[in-house]
Structure 1
Amino acid sequence: MDKVEELVLESETNLGSFAFTDFFPAGLGWVIDRISGQHSELHKAFARLSNFFQHVIDDHLKPGQSQDHSDIIGVMLDMINKESKVGSFEVTYDHLKGVMSDVFLAGVNAGAITMIWAMTELARHPRVMKKLQQEIRATLGDNKEKITEQDLEKVHYLKLVIEETFRLHPPAPLLLPRETMSDLKIQGYNIPKNTMIEINTYSIGRDPNCWENPNDFNPERFTDSPVEYKGQHYELLPFGAGRRICPGMATGITIVELGLLNVLYFFDWSLPDGMKIEDIDMEEAGAFVIAKKVPLELVPTPHQW
């Protein structure tokens, strides 16, 4: 598990690092990246990630493995083995590793980071924590054995808490780069065609022109608000918008909602002995994604009905 976590952090660090090829003409940037050693580090990091993916694929290909194709790797291997085509497009092992990379880097770590930030903010705001847990338990009832996806539609306040967490702590502070399709002018700045554009969703979520008291954690701000995270409102863009919106948005939000609903329904949470709310460290760390620099420490106690 530690090695997997190292691979994730190494890959995300390389993805979010400054690259000369992004800011200089292709030839010059490529030469500088070679001289600085960045190209070599990037190649080594993703070679290790590719080797990990190959190990997972090999496990699926071992004789005697179940052929029920219950996961995406099994489904895509079946398409490769049958030389399936979508139109003129043929699925290959490179495509499989690309999908695995999306799931591995974006589909797992981003959700975990969001849940940690949500629990951090709830620990810092006992009023919100109490209100949320009361709503969850009153809505779902006592001694529920298992949380299901059907329960997600019943807990309205949880959705507000997650939206507020996305606003203050988007997993990726910068959306995937865009490229301008034509010359344009924005707020007096001339931007040529084919310019790479970075959208800072972190700053947008804390912009006082868009949000009242932007640095406060206040889920109630989304009560009866039309603003949501699905790409139609540019004040809140944790998943991006337009044709390049995150394709795993539905899966990602379901993972976060189910994870939080489970830990908040079944457990009560408190700070370790001797620790106060003001002792919770909010320092951030990361490049491609922004996580807590200091791990969150909370004490779970099974809820007594």
Structure 2
Amino acid sequence: MALGVTELGVAALGSFLLYIIVNEVIRGRARVAGLKGPRGFPLIGNLWDIRVNAADQYRKWATHFGDVYQIQLGNVPVVVVNSAAAARALFGQNAQALSSRPEFYTFHKVVSNTAGTTIGTSPYSDSLKRRRKAAASALNRPAVQTYVKLLDLESRDFIRELYTYGHAGQTAIDPMPMIQRLSLSLSVTLNWGTRISSQQEAMFAEITHVEEEISKFRSTTGNLQDYIPLLRLNPINTHSAKAREMRQRRDVYLTALNKGLDERMAAGTHSPCIQANVMQDPEAKLNKDELTSISLTMLSGGLDTVTTTVAWFVALLANRPDVQEKAVREIEAYYGADKPLCDAEDDQQCQYIVALVRETLRYFTVLRLALPRVSVKDIVHNGVLIPKGTVVFLNAWACNMDPNVWDDPEEFRPERWLHKPDAPMFTYGIGYRMCAGSLLANRELYLITMRLLNSFRIELADKVDCHPVSGNADPTSLVAMPHRFRAVFVPRDEKALGEALGE
């Protein structure tokens, strides 16, 4: 009996070793021939190496393997692009070949099983082209100009909340709920024509929590089962269970928002909004799933990019009174000192504030790894054939920190953009699949920055690390966010600000 058990154990071990050997042969054949890169461990490849701060690890490997190299996540070979020049060459010269997205098990098969995907996460198709066309019409420069009243309202209420909850600078507060309400309400108003006017609304807490959790399922490093299929067979797979829960909870509020708009449209009481405009456009010809995709894009885009960028910016200002004071002097030179809320119609005319926004987007790069691409055609880069079907990562973090573009990339220095206003920036991606909402985001960030700086002096109440690497609260997440902190928002001129908020 004992001998039988021993033989069985030996056979099992032998089978496992044989599997590893065969798998290593398969992994080796899957690699892009002629492209350097770290080999990693059997079965898991480089997953262990990039379990935290993947973008920074990719940046470090670039110093050894070059700006473009390959890694392996499980058995999947991935080409990683880490410099501005390489990004322009690879994505700029192969826009059509790199027009699609790979499908990952956790996000595409579990989270998005019912409501579908955002425009940014969808593979290339005729449906994607229709959705991109509709989004482009809703987010181009003339369209953004029509949203100024909404930007005015939401940014004004943002300042009002900081003033009210902070008792006019007497109480230290966590600014994150105010930032989240600002971004969420703007996204919901633009898309469905209804506001989230208070943090006390049940939908506020639900949407911000669920969307934050779903963002984690879009991470290219936080979902091991995307690369190791055996993990999907686990009968007590808590990861997939949580993904399904978030999907179901998202379906509830999407249904509620859509139903509310349908009822207002039927009654003729709806406000102009993206969803209604597309539904009434006979040329758009979008089905229900495609309309939902646009809605999800508006939600995730605002909560991912704007919320996290403003959160990092406030943390930085609290630590850098010198940046605050210089910015205020520039605003006063442009506007004068008697207009704390500034003019919402100002289309980014104060050049120092434009530079400050761009530096914030560059330095913190909230989406460190741009959403991945997959090649739909063979590509040749520097003599190396990258086959059709290869996954490609744009390391936006490394590109924004490129020493060949900036002499001092590790420094937060807004003035750099005054001297090199046309320098490349990769926070919104590059090429065909770059963020469609960048014009709106820039306009929104500019107005928020102007009003925030001109209304308050921001003083730190809790110690917070505002370094983009060491200060990242969750290095495994898709979106880089600072740790929560409290600050004191002291009105620069309480009387003038009170009067402006009361207008």
Q: TM-score, normalised to structure 1's length?
A: 0.81
Closer/same/farther in 2, CA of residues 59 and 184 from structure 1, 3 Å limit? closer
- Corresponding position: 1:265 with 2:467: no
The match for 1:227 is: 422
Cα distance in 2 for partners of 1:182, 1:61 equals 42
Change (3 A) 1:122 1:146: closer
Equivalent residue for 2:473, pick from 285, 288, 292 = 285
- SS of corresponding position for 1:154: coil
Give CA deviations for 1:4-40 in whole Å, capped at 9, x if unaligned.
211111110111154467547xxxx4x6435345444
Shift of 1:77: 4.4
Give the Cα–Cα distance (whole angstroms) in 1 for the partners of residues 222 and 457 of structure 2: 42
After TM superposition, list the pairs within 5 Å mapping 1:59-78 onto structure 2.
Answer: 59-62=260-263, 66-78=268-280
Give the conservation status (yes or no) of the 8 Å contact 1:116–1:296: no
Q: How does 1:12-31 map to 2 (within 5 A)?
A: 12-16=215-219, 18-19=222-223, 23=227, 29=229
> 1:202, CA displacement in angstroms?
1.1
- Amino acid in the other structure paired with 2:490: T
- Cα distance change, pair 204–145 in 1 and its aligned pair in 2 (3 A): closer
Aligned to 1:191: 386
After superposition, the C-alpha distances for 1:98-140 in whole angstroms (9 at most, x for unaligned) are: 1111111112331121112122223322222111011112211
**CA distance, structure 2, for counterparts of residue 43 and residue 85 of structure 1:** 35
1:3 pairs with 2:3: no
Rg bigger for which structure? 2
Q: Which amino acid aligns with 1:54?
A: T
Q: Which residue of 2 aligns with 1:301?
A: 490
Q: Which amino acid aligns with 1:53?
A: L
> Residue type of the partner of 1:239?
Y
> Is 1:111 the counterpart of 2:306 in the alignment?
yes
Question: Unpaired segments of 5 or more residues in structure 1?
Answer: none
Cα contact 1:67–1:74 (8 A) shared by 2? no
Name the CA shift for 1:66/1:134 in 2 (closer, same or farther; >3 Å).
farther
Shift of the 137–45 alpha-carbon distance from structure 1 to 2, 3 Å rule, reads same
The residue aligned with 2:397 is 202
Task: Say yes or no: does 1:44 pair with 2:245.
Answer: yes
- Specify the SS of the correspondent of 1:112: helix
The Cα offsets for residues 263-293 of structure 1, whole Å up to 9 and x where unpaired, read as 1112222223xx6xxx32232134121111x
Q: Find the counterpart in structure 2 of residue 215 from structure 1.
A: 410
Query: How many corresponding residue pairs?
Result: 281
Q: CA offsets per residue over residues 209-253 of structure 1, 9 Å max, x none?
A: 43222211111122220434xxxx3xx201111111111111111
Paired letter, 1:112: T
Instruction: From the superposition, tell whether residues 204 and 106 of structure 1 become closer, same or farther in structure 2 (CA, over 3 Å).
Output: same
Distance 1:122 1:182 in 2: 46
- Aligned equivalents of 1:109 and 1:161: distance in 2? 20
Q: Structure 1 residues 43 and 121 mapped into 2: Cα distance closer, same or farther (>3 Å)?
A: same
2:326 matches 1:131:
yes
Cα distance, 1:163 vs structure 2: 1.3
1:33 counterpart letter in structure 2 = R
For 1:153-168, what aligned pairs fall within 5 Å after superposition? Answer: 153-168=348-363
Matching residue's letter, 2:232: D
**Which position in structure 2 is the counterpart of 1:33?**
232
Farther off after superposition, 168-177 or 185-194: 185-194
Partner Cα distance (1:219, 1:145) in 2: 22
Matched residues in 2 for 1:189 and 1:297: separation?
Answer: 51
1:56 aligns with 2:251: no
Secondary structure, counterpart of 1:270 in structure 2: strand
Q: TM-score, normalised by structure 2?
A: 0.51
Give the drift of 1:148.
3.1
Structure 2 residue runs of 5 or longer lacking an equivalent are: 1-203, 497-503
Specify whether residues 104 and 34 from structure 1 end up closer, same or farther in structure 2 by C-alpha distance, changes over 3 A only: farther
Give the letter aligned to residue 139 of structure 1. Answer: Y
Whichever residue aligns with residue 481 of structure 2, its letter is A
Quote the Cα distance in structure 2 between the aligned partners of 1:11 and 1:179.
Answer: 22
Q: 1:285 to 1:71 in 2, by over 3 A?
A: same
Q: 1:226 to 1:255 in 2, by over 3 A?
A: closer
2:440 aligns to what? 251
What SS does the corresponding residue of 1:198 show, helix, strand or coil? strand
Do the aligned partners of 1:170 and 1:238 also contact (CA within 8 Å) in 2?
A: yes
Letter of the aligned partner of 1:55 in structure 2? A
Report the alpha carbon displacement of residue 57 of structure 1 after superposing the two structures with TM: 1.1
Q: Distance in 1 between matches of 2:362 and 2:383?
A: 28
Greater shift, 37-46 or 94-103, is seen at 37-46
* Identity rate, percent: 21
